[in-house]
Each structure stands twice: as C-alpha cells, then as structure tokens.
Structure 1
Amino acid sequence: MDTGDTVVPAGHRRGRLTLLAVAGILILTAVVTGAAALNDRESNSPRPSTGAAAPAAGPPAAAAQRPGELTWGPLMASSPPVRVSIPSLKVASATIPLGLQADGSMQVPDSATEVGWFTKAPPPGALGPAVLAGHVNWKGKRGVFFELGTMRAGDAISVARADGSTAMFTVTKVQQHPKDRFPTDEVYGATDHAALRLITCGGEFDDATQHYRDNVIVYARLAHAHPA
C-alpha cells in the first residue's frame, strides 16, 4: 500500500494531507435510521468505528407522488442514465447501475472514471431525487468527482439516457457535511420536481481511520428535457 502527498480538491481543501492510495476510496453507507455516508476505504462491511453509521438497509426510496399532487418544472418518463457530463469540471463519464450489497451499503464503481447510478432511487429526469455517486480517489488515481466541491449554483449537468433523451440539470446548491451528520432526508426524500444529487467524499483525510471525514453533495433540478 502506497502513501504520498496529493492535492485536496478546491472547495474542500483544509491543508496539505497525506492520502493513502487504497482501493475503495468511496463507499456509500446507506442507512434508514441513521446518517448515510460515503466511506473511503476498501470494505464491504463498514463498521461503526470508522465514523460512519453501521449499515442497516438502503436509503429510503422517494415517496410516490400522491394523486393530484402538483409538480414543478419538467418531468421525463423513466429511463436509465448511460452517461453524465459536467462541463465546469470537464467531466464526461459513463454511468453504471449500483444496487445494494448484502450489508445494506451501496455498491460502488470499480474504476476511477465511472459514475454509479443508485437504482433504488428514480432515474435522472423522473420525479424524485436521482442519486449519482463517484470516487474522489481510486487506487491512487484521481477520481471522476475529484473536484465536485468546486461546483457552484447555476452550473450545468447533463445526463444522457438509454431511450436517447437527455436530462439537463442546473445546480441549486453545494454542501459539505460530516459523515455522521449526513442529511439523509434531504438527499433521498421525496421532491415535487425531477432532482439530482451527486455525492462523493471530501474534507480532511483522517490517517487514523483511513477515511475522509465529510461528504460533498451537489443538489440540482431538471431545467430542460430533450427528447430522443
């Protein structure tokens, strides 16, 4: 296992840190009754001692729309994402489906360059919060979401979908939270519009636990729906 100095992404830089080049820099710990968090170590069974809540089950699915409930903005029929583009970060990445592992934590992408779509949440463009997760580091390589914390309100995100359509999102806010205070309801809770959340690790790297201490979360909403 190698160690070395690396540059912490702008937007969540708190000093020069020594980072461990380990596989599994990012694991989403999804908990119904506790805080969901993205662990940054190679482990299929995150433990409470890591600073993240122990997994129990997947994140709560967005509540179904009630009859007569109003929605705000465009909506698209359900179709899985196949590619995500973020011009401000110069990111263009294929997306892969992510389910849940046996311990209730989210599966993670197997490379630095892929972005995972959590299939227990809505697809991008449909009503509710779609969730995409990516690595900040992976096996000593810079991850696809390395600079996620530099995004700002108004930035554009486009998601190409399997039916040939494209969902165009506009960022509304970017937040950083300690993993033990992950805003589960805000990320996974029901919305009255087509929403998108991008999640990765951030903040300082804790050498003792081999984890980043925070999560970076980008919130966005559907601005335009381009048909196939």
Structure 2
Amino acid sequence: MAAPQPTDSSPARTKPRSSLGRALMWPVLAAALGMVLIYNSFGTPVSSSRTAPPVAISSPSPEILGHHAAPAPAMSPQAPVGPSMTRSDPQRLEIESLGIDAPFTDLSLGANGQLDAPPPDDKNLVGWYKDGTSPGERGTAIVAGHVDTKTGPAVFLPLQTIQPGAEVDITRADGSVAVFKVDGVRQYSKADFPNELVYSDSDFSDLRLITCGGTYNKTVKDYEDNVVVFAHLDSYTKG
C-alpha cells in the first residue's frame, strides 16, 4: 500500500525516526501480508487535540491488505508533543463503537524482508509490527487486520464506518490501557498509496489501523484500495 501526500489537512509531523518499523511503508506490511491481509511516564490520564484528516471513504467489499514497498530511515524528532507511554507490547484492541474486541499477534519481517502475515484461519485477530513503535509509545504504531478471509467476514470489516472522535482502546502487557481518539479515516488506491503520510514517524503517539477496501478484483484476487484510520493517544491508565 505509495502516493503523493495530499494537500488537505493532516496531523502535523516531523522527520521520522531511524527505525525500519517506525517508517514502515505498507508495501512491506501489506505485500507480506499477502492474500490474507493482513509512551514516557505514567500518571493521571492527559489529553491532546489534533487536526483531523478529512474523511474520504467509499464502501469497501470484504478481504485483505495491499502490496507496497520499504521505507527510508528516519531521524529523531526535535520536539515531542502530547502524552506518551513507555514501551509495552499490545495485548488486546477494543473499539466499542464497532463491536470489535480482538487479541493481538506479533508481526515480524520474514527472510524475504516482507512482513509475515497473521494466521489466515483466525478471523478475530489483529497484528502489529513488533519491531516498530508499540501503541502508546511516541511515534507511529502500525496495526493491521483482515477485512475478511476465505471463510467469511473478519475483524476489520466494519473499520471503514468508524467516525472521527471514536475511541480505540489498547490493553498492553504492562496492564496499562492506551486510549486513542480517531482523527479521521481515508481510503487510498493501492496503486497510488501515500506511504509517507501513513507510515512516517511522528512527534505524537500515533496509531494507524489498516485494512483493505474498495472494489474486489477477481482477476488478481485482491482489493484495489486500503482503508486507513488515523488516531492519536488521547489518554492512558496505569497497569
């Protein structure tokens, strides 16, 4: 999932950090996901407000993620902004407004340099790139999920209907809960995907939720678009 950055408003960000996961472009994420798809001190919860990206959605058919390529190395940010948490692996993702409640699996790069896919036979499972930013940590965390599998609808099928302001809760291994607020949702052609906008690192604690959308191409057995949800860490609770 690569394209020029749109001229409409989107969350402000600086140069990305030097980490493959932190600048990970969807080609690595999605190409590898193949045919199935694919923060600093604790304390009292705090809030941060951001400019939401505009919504650009069409109704997607079910199935998988796209095929895109690898990112450039990133630079350390100069001025961190908003709340953040220390690093901790995600355990469970909940989006009450969509009825989503799913465990996480780790996603890593295979021998071919592409991201391994989550198990294709589990419809209620989301994956995150474990060598990148963890959800709640400063930077951009990438979470991917199936829109469907060969056996039917899957965990991220309703993702395109999420509304700005909706809450995404991620429970982490240290017992803490990172609460993200949705800034907006967009749909991009896989042939013209804005890798830098979606995957570049951030001075905020950002989250991207990604799945497939648009028309299903029976010839190539893949969806033509990707649905991307942009969200930021709004608050958190201790473990």
TM class by shorter-chain length?
0.7 to 0.9
Residue 122 of structure 1 pairs with residue 133 of structure 2: yes
Write the letter of the residue equivalent to 1:221: H
Tell me the equivalent position of 2:28. 30
Tell me the equivalent position of 2:169. 158
Cα separation, 2, equivalents of 1:186 and 1:197: 11
Identity of aligned residues (%): 37
Specify every segment of 5 or more residues in structure 2 that has no aligned partner in the other structure, as ranges: 1-25, 38-65
Residue 190 of structure 1 pairs with residue 201 of structure 2: yes
Specify every segment of 5 or more residues in structure 1 that has no aligned partner in the other structure, as ranges: 1-27, 44-50
Offset, 1:106 = 1.6
Cα separation, 2, equivalents of 1:219 and 1:97: 21
Instruction: Give the 3 Å change call, closer, same or farther, for CA 166–62 of structure 1 in structure 2.
Output: farther
Map 1:76-225 to 2 at 5 A. 76-110=85-119, 111-225=122-236
Cα separation, 2, equivalents of 1:86 and 1:99: 24
Report SS of the residue matched to 2:157.
coil
Write the letter of the residue equivalent to 2:191: D
- Which of 64, 70, 82 lines up with 1:73 in the alignment? 82
Is the contact between residue 149 and residue 216 of structure 1 (CA under 8 Å) also seen in structure 2? Answer: yes
Instruction: Give the 3 Å change call, closer, same or farther, for CA 217–200 of structure 1 in structure 2.
Output: same
Write the letter of the residue equivalent to 2:27: T
Report SS of the residue matched to 1:220.
strand
Cα separation, 2, equivalents of 1:153 and 1:38: 29
Ranked by relative contact order (alpha carbons within 8 Å, sequence separation 6 or more), the top structure is: 2
Cα separation, 2, equivalents of 1:118 and 1:72: 23
Write the letter of the residue equivalent to 2:137: A
Cα separation, 2, equivalents of 1:90 and 1:74: 26
Is the contact between residue 29 and residue 104 of structure 1 (CA under 8 Å) also seen in structure 2? Answer: no
Tell me the equivalent position of 1:15. none
Instruction: Give the 3 Å change call, closer, same or farther, for CA 144–208 of structure 1 in structure 2.
Output: same
Cα separation, 2, equivalents of 1:195 and 1:63: 16
From the two aligned structures, give the one with the greater strand fraction: 1
Is the contact between residue 129 and residue 191 of structure 1 (CA under 8 Å) also seen in structure 2? Answer: yes
RMSD of aligned alpha carbons: 2.2
Is the contact between residue 139 and residue 203 of structure 2 (CA under 8 Å) also seen in structure 1? Answer: yes
Instruction: Give the 3 Å change call, closer, same or farther, for CA 136–73 of structure 1 in structure 2.
Output: same
Is the contact between residue 169 and residue 224 of structure 1 (CA under 8 Å) also seen in structure 2? Answer: yes
Instruction: Give the 3 Å change call, closer, same or farther, for CA 204–117 of structure 1 in structure 2.
Output: same
Instruction: Give the 3 Å change call, closer, same or farther, for CA 39–177 of structure 1 in structure 2.
Output: farther
Is the contact between residue 152 and residue 173 of structure 1 (CA under 8 Å) also seen in structure 2? Answer: yes
TM-score normalised by structure 2 residue count: 0.71
